[in-house]
Structure 1
Amino acid sequence: MPNSRPRSRRSAGGGAGTAGRDRLVAQSLQSAEHCLGDQDFGTAYAHYLLVLSLAPELKEDVKETFQYTLFKWAEELHALNRIQDLLGCYEQALELFPDDEVICNSMGEHLFRMGFRDEAAGYFHKAVKLNPDFNDAKENFYRVANWLVERWHFIMLNDTKRNEIYNAAIQKAVRLGSKTVLDIGAGTGILSMFAKKAGAHSVYACELSKTMYELACDVVAANKMEDGIRLLHMKSLDLEIPKHIPERVSLVVTETVDAGVFGEGIVESLIHAWEHLLLQPQTKGESGSWGKYGKVIPASAVISGMAVECAEIRRHHRVSAKDIAGIHLPTNVRFQSPAYASVDPEETVEPYTTEKMSGIPGGYRPLTECFQIMKVDFNNLQELKSLATRKPHSLSVPAVKEGTLDAIMVWFVLQLDDEHSLSTSPSEETCWEQAVYPVQALEDYWIQPGDQVTMEASCHDCYLRIQGISILHLEHEMEVIKSFTKSKDLLSLGNEAELCSALANLQTSRPEALEQTCVLEPTEIALLNNIPYHEGFRTAMRKVLSSLAPETPSQPMEAHCQDMETNLESAPSTSDPFYVLDVSEGFSLLPILAGTLGQVQPYSSVEKDQHCIALDLISEANHFPKETLEFWLRHIEDEAAVLQRPKSDKLWSIIILDVIEPSGLIQQEIMEKAAISRCLLQSGGKIFPQYVLMFGMLVESQTLVEESAVQGTEHTLGLNIAPFINQFQVPIRVCLDLSSLPCIPLSQPVELLRLDLMTPYLNTSNREVKVRVCRSGRLTAVPFWFHLCLDDEVRLDTSGEASHWKQAAVVLDNPIQVQAGEELVLSVEHHKSNISITVKQ
């Protein structure tokens, strides 16, 4: 607890009133100290409020202790779910200390935990402005900025072609008479400003995100269009005439389309717009000015697809291995990614992932020609209404190449009008990614020319759904047709789609129902496919447990190591087991691996019931005695305090910590967790990994530059947007794959930091590193990755080919021109999960 006793001050005033005030202040300070000693933080907080209201001159003296009291009391209020009281306390504190960055940051942390991300961002941003060197606030702001202003905003605004085509289509519509415009999902307001510049009389723009709405207000004002564009912080579905806008508009412009077209709710919003906000559409035979009729930009979309082979998609969505470092995966456990599992009509998870397929590691191979999935007319109300109720339609596409069917890749052409269009095809230079529907749960994924890929497509729950993907092999198809013609004339089937549906329904080789479906995130499936990871842990754990086991003189070490791997059933029941705790984030096989290494009691920290069931089934399949594997969260009262002794009189032999996030960043507070873990280890016990080495290199990458910040006004056609949205740029780009990142290496990899979890005095959380430039160029970024050293011999490389981790990069604010042979100094600092790198020439 900070020192809470302020220096005594003599009041400048006099008289009985001042003396009485001083006595009350002194008594309140004394009471506050007693309350703090008794950990009665609520009463102590009330006493400090009284002190500061009576004697504001003591603010600096009690500031540190007041902060401590506030934070402790706020933790109690949060635990008691007294949210209004908690927020009230912070509001009182900020009235007293309006420029205190620590209180601002703490207020933001509570708001973020409660889900108020927009409001949290405001407090984090203010804390950073008050103190640009306040690392906690900077890290918090960077994390929330990635969520509030998603990185695709920068990429899209830097896409000159996209901006030019939208601008041209809007100009044409306004020129032909569409003078009243509504921009749905305005973002930064760029489409609204295109309309105003084109000559629209009235422009209305609605934006749901508070952050983006406020950003758009600043952008519109900076471009001197605030009088001509009315911005509304609301969903278009809540807009009413004349309450929010005075009249029906003649033009709606929107880009509320995701990689799967419908995922941002464009169908629902346009149905509402046509019914309540737009002038009626022009019907055939009618003539007159466009201003008399309603119109939508984009006018329509044509959605296309292709079946592809792609090893990168496969390893993130299908568990390929049957045996992982000696652990057998049973057939009664089926692993699925959320994209596949969400075909359940009650699920609202996106039924696809998104990938920039032109740059996916290892590339992809087309197995079919491009085929049309669906066409949508956004200017046809009845068609829009029928989309959600229309039954899924069957598609059958012939294979043109042999290979492994891994996914259906989807893109679209957005027809803005009869003249202007945008394609999101992977063959185009575009800011868009493609929607990817992974193929799972087939008995055989091999396909060859003559086979048919069958599927069903629909628009359901605001998503383009492609499900029931299967392969109809040529020889099987002929057998089915022969048997079908015996019972029914094929000509009676109305069309090819019905025949394909009948053929698919008659397939007989269906897998039997499995006992347990285990839904894993793509990174967790990639982890199961990461064989070097599991083999490395097996080797390192075996060495630690061997070193801890009592050694008999007659038993050579080699024989002793082999004996350590005998089945638990044959181990003496009288001796104590080795305790192993795995606190990895998410699903992990490591506790089961530990359980195969001798007399070990492994504990898993998985939380989800389906994951526990799956691990139990895997344990059973590998002949573990019942209840060998324990689930640690069932043994502790406070899930926040995972790191504690296995039993009151026992310590851990091995503690496995998750050090690197799948995104490529260091986990928050990992060094604090390591410090606690070291206190919980038996003599000779180890933390895994024992230490971590961070590597980096200098690169030139225009891609990273354009994904991190809007570049001037040229890309945005002269509109001043960059300074405002770039307030939300973050210096670190995450979820990169260095093997496919468009970049030019300007140096060899160098070691930047060492984080030692077992021997803290070896840490180098702040370091200056000299790097020699090996190629002249424009230095724009420093990508980095890690080697997780389980011991001095076993290393896991987070940039390796089998890695389930992504990599990250620090992107420079201002690129630096460098020459071959030049030596640069990188100043590297690690704080919590934040890595900062500054370059000195």
Structure 2
Amino acid sequence: MSNPYFDEYENLEVHELMLKDRPRQIAYCNAILGNKDIFKDKVVLDVGAGTGILSAFCAKAGARLVYAVEASNVATKVALDLMQDNGLTSIVKVIHSRVEELVLPVSSEKVDIIVSEWMGFYLLHEGMLGSVLLARDKFLKADGLMFPTECTIFVAPCSVPSLFDYWQNIDGIKMDSFAKKLRTQKSTRPEITQLDPKNLLHEGVVLHWMNLLDVDMAELEEVRFKDVVAAQRGGNHQGFCIWFEVLFPGNEAVFLSTSPFAPETHWKQCVVVLPQDACETVDEKSPIAFQISMTRSASDMRKYNLEVELLDPNIEEHPVPCSCHMTKCILTEAHLKTINTS
């Protein structure tokens, strides 16, 4: 039976986009080929192998056997050819299957390493991590490794000039009304865009962190985060920018970041745009209190509902120390400095 999610991955332009994403490719290449001592003579499971390039990296790194598992027809139409073209068919076994239905050729066999590029927008979109964790629980040895192994979601208040400032003057014509209608039309879903770092009002705080070796499947149902941050620069507070970073295990840490401060990736950043009446101009050190929730959609397990609520910084508890300009935080910070210098 056809599955719209997997059918989408039969479009080779989707793979072209990912393969041309140099930060993505370089991170996986360095993480795998830079750790040949870890991969040597190991059995590897590549979950959602796509074209099979990560499986090929594993074989080149010295893996004894690689199971390249792919649910879409790309498995038979592309991945098999890639292994033949590179002389890797004796090492990489392409399996056309969903990992949920996977049966390894040797039923009692466990794998040493699981490799997967499962990340979606704001990390969790597409819900593929659940399949990776299922594979971990079913097939990974007790001392096995996950590539990547840790992931962190960040959030920062931001300006969104492409949806606000840009429309104030289009060749001498004000288009504020059009811009307002455009934002309303876009309000049902986050904006995927590449933000200039100067549009961040804060460098970002950790919204959520996971170690993929021990995170529980139930933890993926909802992520909820609340904080008060002090604006590190003044500007128009028009939304919240969300990005992620993953860490690979190995002798030298390899990171893949989708931050506005990092080279652009195909993930870019996810921006939750505020309604017009909630936007405001903030000064440096202005406190911004908010709560964000990511809840798995009841109608589509591969999607999440993102909700942002602005809170009253006069009521919410601030972190200690807090660098905002509220009197209580200034006094607390001064008191802590006195203690540290005494």
Shorter-normalised TM range: 0.7 to 0.9
Identity value in percent = 19
Task: Quote the residue 1:413 is aligned against.
Answer: 245
Task: Quote the residue 1:297 is aligned against.
Answer: 147
| CA contact 1:314–1:438 (8 Å) conserved in 2 | no
Task: Quote the residue 1:352 is aligned against.
Answer: 190
In structure 1, C-alpha distance between the alignment counterparts of 2:309 and 2:240, rounded to whole Å? 9
Kindly tell me: are residues 439 and 367 of structure 1, through their superposed partners in 2, closer, same or farther at Cα, counting changes over 3 Å? same
Task: Quote the residue 1:279 is aligned against.
Answer: 141
Kindly tell me: are residues 313 and 463 of structure 1, through their superposed partners in 2, closer, same or farther at Cα, counting changes over 3 Å? farther
2:45 is the counterpart of 1:182: yes
| CA contact 2:258–2:264 (8 Å) conserved in 1 | yes
In structure 2, C-alpha distance between the alignment counterparts of 1:172 and 1:368, rounded to whole Å? 40
**Residue deviations 1:262-298, cap 9 Å, x none?**
2233421122112212123xxxxxxxxxxxx222111
Kindly tell me: are residues 411 and 240 of structure 1, through their superposed partners in 2, closer, same or farther at Cα, counting changes over 3 Å? same
Task: Quote the residue 1:171 is aligned against.
Answer: 36
Counterpart pick for 1:467 among 307, 321, 337 = 307
In structure 1, C-alpha distance between the alignment counterparts of 2:82 and 2:132, rounded to whole Å? 26
Cα distance, 1:197 vs. partner?
1.9
Q: Equivalent residues in 2 for 1:269-418 (5 A)?
A: 269-280=131-142, 293-314=143-164, 336-337=184-185, 340-341=187-188, 351-358=189-196, 364-380=198-214, 383-390=215-222, 392-417=224-249
SS state of the match for residue 311, structure 1?
A: coil
SS state of the match for residue 225, structure 1?
A: coil
Counterpart pick for 1:215 among 75, 78, 96 = 78
Task: Quote the residue 1:455 is aligned against.
Answer: 291
2:86 is the counterpart of 1:236: no
In structure 1, C-alpha distance between the alignment counterparts of 2:207 and 2:122, rounded to whole Å? 11
2:265 is the counterpart of 1:428: no
Task: Quote the residue 1:255 is aligned against.
Answer: 117
Cα distance, 1:226 vs. partner?
0.8
SS state of the match for residue 240, structure 2?
A: strand
Cα distance, 1:301 vs. partner?
0.7
Q: Moved runs in structure 1, 4+ residues, more than 4 A? A: 115-119, 157-160, 320-324, 461-466
In structure 2, C-alpha distance between the alignment counterparts of 1:117 and 1:467, rounded to whole Å? 27
Cα distance, 1:208 vs. partner?
2.0
Kindly tell me: are residues 180 and 322 of structure 1, through their superposed partners in 2, closer, same or farther at Cα, counting changes over 3 Å? closer
In structure 1, C-alpha distance between the alignment counterparts of 2:295 and 2:141, rounded to whole Å? 26
Cα distance, 1:181 vs. partner?
0.5
Kindly tell me: are residues 365 and 356 of structure 1, through their superposed partners in 2, closer, same or farther at Cα, counting changes over 3 Å? closer
In structure 2, C-alpha distance between the alignment counterparts of 1:160 and 1:208, rounded to whole Å? 21
SS state of the match for residue 182, structure 1?
A: strand
Cα distance, 1:242 vs. partner?
5.0
Cα distance, 1:224 vs. partner?
0.5
Kindly tell me: are residues 152 and 471 of structure 1, through their superposed partners in 2, closer, same or farther at Cα, counting changes over 3 Å? farther
In structure 1, C-alpha distance between the alignment counterparts of 2:39 and 2:182, rounded to whole Å? 55
Paired letter, 2:145 = K
**Residue deviations 1:289-321, cap 9 Å, x none?**
xxxx2221111112212221121144799xx96
With a CA cutoff of 8 Å and minimum separation of 6, indicate the structure with the bigger relative contact order.
Answer: 2
| CA contact 2:235–2:282 (8 Å) conserved in 1 | yes
Aligned residues: 301
Kindly tell me: are residues 390 and 180 of structure 1, through their superposed partners in 2, closer, same or farther at Cα, counting changes over 3 Å? same
Paired letter, 1:235 = R
Cα distance, 1:238 vs. partner?
1.7
**Residue deviations 1:505-532, cap 9 Å, x none?**
xxxxxxxxxxxxxxxxxxxxxxxxxxxx
In structure 1, C-alpha distance between the alignment counterparts of 2:5 and 2:230, rounded to whole Å? 49
Kindly tell me: are residues 354 and 150 of structure 1, through their superposed partners in 2, closer, same or farther at Cα, counting changes over 3 Å? farther
Kindly tell me: are residues 302 and 335 of structure 1, through their superposed partners in 2, closer, same or farther at Cα, counting changes over 3 Å? closer
In structure 1, C-alpha distance between the alignment counterparts of 2:272 and 2:6, rounded to whole Å? 32
Cα distance, 1:230 vs. partner?
0.7
| CA contact 1:251–1:295 (8 Å) conserved in 2 | yes
Bigger share in strand:
2
Kindly tell me: are residues 352 and 471 of structure 1, through their superposed partners in 2, closer, same or farther at Cα, counting changes over 3 Å? same
Kindly tell me: are residues 194 and 406 of structure 1, through their superposed partners in 2, closer, same or farther at Cα, counting changes over 3 Å? same
Which structure 1 residue ranges, 5 or more long, are not aligned? 1-110, 122-143, 281-292, 342-350, 482-494, 498-841
Q: Equivalent residues in 2 for 1:459-538 (5 A)?
A: 460-461=296-297, 462=302, 466-470=306-310, 472=312, 477-478=313-314, 496=318
Q: Equivalent residues in 2 for 1:23-34 (5 A)?
A: none
Paired letter, 1:402 = G
Task: Quote the residue 1:438 is aligned against.
Answer: 272
In structure 1, C-alpha distance between the alignment counterparts of 2:150 and 2:295, rounded to whole Å? 15
In structure 2, C-alpha distance between the alignment counterparts of 1:370 and 1:442, rounded to whole Å? 23
In structure 1, C-alpha distance between the alignment counterparts of 2:26 and 2:258, rounded to whole Å? 12
Q: Equivalent residues in 2 for 1:79-90 (5 A)?
A: none
SS state of the match for residue 230, structure 1?
A: strand
Cα distance, 1:246 vs. partner?
5.9
**Residue deviations 1:672-713, cap 9 Å, x none?**
xxxxxxxxxxxxxxxxxxxxxxxxxxxxxxxxxxxxxxxxxx
Paired letter, 1:455 = Q
| CA contact 2:224–2:291 (8 Å) conserved in 1 | no
Kindly tell me: are residues 430 and 368 of structure 1, through their superposed partners in 2, closer, same or farther at Cα, counting changes over 3 Å? closer
Counterpart pick for 2:89 among 214, 222, 226 = 226
In structure 2, C-alpha distance between the alignment counterparts of 1:224 and 1:295, rounded to whole Å? 26
Q: Equivalent residues in 2 for 1:52-91 (5 A)?
A: none
In structure 1, C-alpha distance between the alignment counterparts of 2:266 and 2:198, rounded to whole Å? 17
Kindly tell me: are residues 452 and 230 of structure 1, through their superposed partners in 2, closer, same or farther at Cα, counting changes over 3 Å? same
Report the TM-score when normalising by structure 2. Answer: 0.74
SS state of the match for residue 292, structure 2?
A: strand
**Residue deviations 1:124-175, cap 9 Å, x none?**
xxxxxxxxxxxxxxxxxxxx654xx444233136866324323245524224
In structure 1, C-alpha distance between the alignment counterparts of 2:135 and 2:88, rounded to whole Å? 24
Cα distance, 1:377 vs. partner?
0.7
| CA contact 1:270–1:378 (8 Å) conserved in 2 | no
**Residue deviations 1:637-675, cap 9 Å, x none?**
xxxxxxxxxxxxxxxxxxxxxxxxxxxxxxxxxxxxxxx
Kindly tell me: are residues 161 and 271 of structure 1, through their superposed partners in 2, closer, same or farther at Cα, counting changes over 3 Å? closer
SS state of the match for residue 277, structure 2?
A: coil
In structure 1, C-alpha distance between the alignment counterparts of 2:182 and 2:66, rounded to whole Å? 53
Cα distance, 1:116 vs. partner?
12
In structure 2, C-alpha distance between the alignment counterparts of 1:299 and 1:206, rounded to whole Å? 19
Paired letter, 1:239 = L
| CA contact 1:406–1:445 (8 Å) conserved in 2 | yes
Kindly tell me: are residues 403 and 496 of structure 1, through their superposed partners in 2, closer, same or farther at Cα, counting changes over 3 Å? closer
SS state of the match for residue 265, structure 2?
A: coil
| CA contact 2:163–2:183 (8 Å) conserved in 1 | no
**Residue deviations 1:307-352, cap 9 Å, x none?**
21121144799xx96756xxxx9xxx997345x43xxxxxxxxx53
| CA contact 1:387–1:459 (8 Å) conserved in 2 | no
In structure 2, C-alpha distance between the alignment counterparts of 1:166 and 1:269, rounded to whole Å? 22
| CA contact 1:186–1:254 (8 Å) conserved in 2 | yes
In structure 1, C-alpha distance between the alignment counterparts of 2:7 and 2:287, rounded to whole Å? 51
Cα distance, 1:444 vs. partner?
3.5
| CA contact 1:410–1:434 (8 Å) conserved in 2 | no
SS state of the match for residue 221, structure 1?
A: helix
2:19 is the counterpart of 1:154: yes
Which structure 2 residue ranges, 5 or more long, are not aligned? 168-173, 320-342
Paired letter, 2:293 = A
Paired letter, 1:234 = S
| CA contact 1:185–1:256 (8 Å) conserved in 2 | yes
| CA contact 1:299–1:379 (8 Å) conserved in 2 | yes
